[in-house]
Amino acid sequence: QKEVEQDPGPLSVPEGAIVSLNCTYSNSAFQYFMWYRQYSRKGPELLMYTYSSGNKEDGRFTAQVDKSSKYISLFIRDSQPSDSATYLCAPNRDDKIIFGKGTRLHILP
Amino acid sequence: DTAVSQTPKYLVTQMGNDKSIKCEQNLGHDTMYWYKQDSKKFLKIMFSYNNKELIINETVPNRFSPKSPDKAHLNLHINSLELGDSAVYFCASSEKGGGGLDEQFFGPGTRLTVL
């Protein structure tokens, strides 16, 4: 089993929809959970992070972690065309960060 | 004012050649990284350096050799290039290194094409 798994997509949704992006991981040692966003032909940039289980909200974005099921989610409310990008989940522990393959998201105007 | 810069942005070369990619960060960070992103968009760490000291050295062919002359620079030299080396190579830096809540800042990437 791979350490981090994400559905690569692409995921196409109409503007204004709620988007749900998901990720599973296998290593229970992961304690920190990050989401990076990567626009086409650019480097990834940190979008949000959480520590341990629970929810964290930042504007239209909500990150959710369920450590018992090793499941990570990112919700985007009122999605905009500018949200079109690849979203990489990145669980990590004290010594290393592991990036998922990313889910390509396309918001249709 | 670019935080993490890489040169060149594009690199097209023949199989068997030797090439280098340069990376510089002006954030004052202690740790720098090299990642490879292949055609399937999988971002995989290759090396990390903390204050010029090699910390992470993943299973990478020894044709790849990182060099850190100071903590603001981490260059990647690749010998005897192969077709499978074609990818986008990203440099990144972080304040402390070692995972945790240590945000990594990425450069714009170097798109390497081996013919």
Tell me what pLDDT residue B106 has: 96
Least confident window among B25-29, B44-48, B81-85, B94-98: B94-98
Task: Render pLDDT for B13-35 as a digit per residue (tens, 0 to 9).
Answer: 999 999 999 999 999 999 999 99
pLDDT tier at A8 (50, 70, 90 boundaries)? confident
CB A48 within 8 A of CB A55: no
Instruction: Assess whether pLDDT exceeds 70 at residue B1.
Output: no
H-type helices in B1-114, by residue range?
none
Q: Which residues of A touch B (CB under 8 A)?
A: 8, 31-32, 34, 41-46, 49, 51, 86, 88, 92-97, 99, 101-102, 104
Min Cα distance A83 → chain B (Å) is 18
Per the structure, the count of domains in chain B is 1
> What mean pLDDT do residues A87-93 have?
91
Closest C-alpha among A97, A29, A1 to residue B100: A97
Structure tokens at A55: 């929810």
Tell me what pLDDT residue A92 has: 87
CB B47 within 8 A of CB B58: yes
Asked whether the beta carbons of residue B90 and residue A43 sit closer than 8 angstroms, the reply is: yes
A30, B23, B75, B94: CA torsion to nearest 10: -30
Instruction: Assess whether pLDDT exceeds 90 at residue A3.
Output: no
CB B10 within 8 A of CB B111: yes
Tell me what pLDDT residue B52 has: 82
Domain range holding B43? 4-114
Task: Render pLDDT for A32-45 as a digit per residue (tens, 0 to 9).
Answer: 999 999 999 999 99
Instruction: Assess whether pLDDT exceeds 70 at residue B42.
Output: yes
The whole-angstrom separation of Cα A53 and Cα A65 is 5
Closest C-alpha among B87, B85, B48 to residue B63: B85
Mean pLDDT of chain B: 92
Tell me what pLDDT residue B58 has: 82
The whole-angstrom separation of Cα A81 and Cα A94 is 35
Q: Does B22 touch chain A (CB under 8 A)?
A: no
Q: How many helices and strands (H and E) does chain B possess?
A: 0, 11
CATH number of residue B26's parent domain: 2.60.40.10
B-chain residues within 8 Å CB-CB of A97? 45, 99, 104
B-chain residues within 8 Å CB-CB of A51? 101
Closest C-alpha among A13, A66, A75 to residue A48: A75
The whole-angstrom separation of Cα B113 and Cα B111 is 7
Task: Render pLDDT for B55-66 as a digit per residue (tens, 0 to 9).
Answer: 878 878 999 999
B-chain residues within 8 Å CB-CB of A95? 98-99
Tell me what pLDDT residue B99 has: 67
Task: Render pLDDT for A43-75 as a digit per residue (tens, 0 to 9).
Answer: 999 999 988 788 999 999 999 999 999 999 999
The whole-angstrom separation of Cα B70 and Cα B52 is 6
What is the SS3 assignment for A25-88? ECCCCCCEEEEEEECCCCCCEEEEEEECCEEEEECCEEEEEECCCCEEEEEECCCCHHHCEEEE
Min Cα distance B115 → chain A (Å) is 21
Q: Which position has the higher pLDDT, B105 or A3?
A: B105
Nearest to A97 among B4, B90, B104 (CB): B104
Q: Report all structural domains of chain A as residue ranges with CATH numbers, in order of start.
A: 4-108 (2.60.40.10)
